[in-house]
Amino acid sequence: MVKYVGPSLDATFAALADPTRRAIVARLGEAGPSQGVAVGELAEPFEMSAPAISKHLRVLERAGMLTQQRDGRVRRCRLDPTPINEASRWIEHHRAFWNNQLDALADFLEGPNKEDAAHD
């Protein structure tokens, strides 16, 4: 199969498909555009080994959602919002689209004897 996924929708949605990573993303979001949050700090809430966290961070990194920079022996993580913005665009586009259609159906089902139905 060997399908390359760079900073793509594939990688972004896959990265968001795990609760630990979503929590990390949320945490980094709360931290805002600061100097970044240390890996150890990010790891703290989770009952999980350090390597497990490290792997999650690499998944986020490969999705382009996270960058790391060294600060002494500490690595600080920051969010790059671009991939999620793109994912958001995709999802919003389609969500809005078919919800509108569902609304149209609801209107039709609920008011075929009202004036809306007179349109055709």
Distance (Å, whole) CA 72 – CA 21: 25
Asked whether the beta carbons of 64 and 6 are under 8 A apart, the reply is yes
User: Which parts of 36-95 interact with DNA (CB under 7 A)?
Assistant: 38-41, 43, 47-59, 68, 70, 72-75
Q: Residues in the site for a second copy, rule: CB under 8 A? A: 9-14, 16-19, 22, 25-26, 28-30, 32-33, 79, 81, 84-85, 87-88, 90-92, 94-95, 97-99, 101-102, 104-105
Distance (Å, whole) CA 11 – CA 4: 10
- Least CB distance from residue 73 to a second copy, whole Å? 27
Residue 74 is classified by DSSP as: E
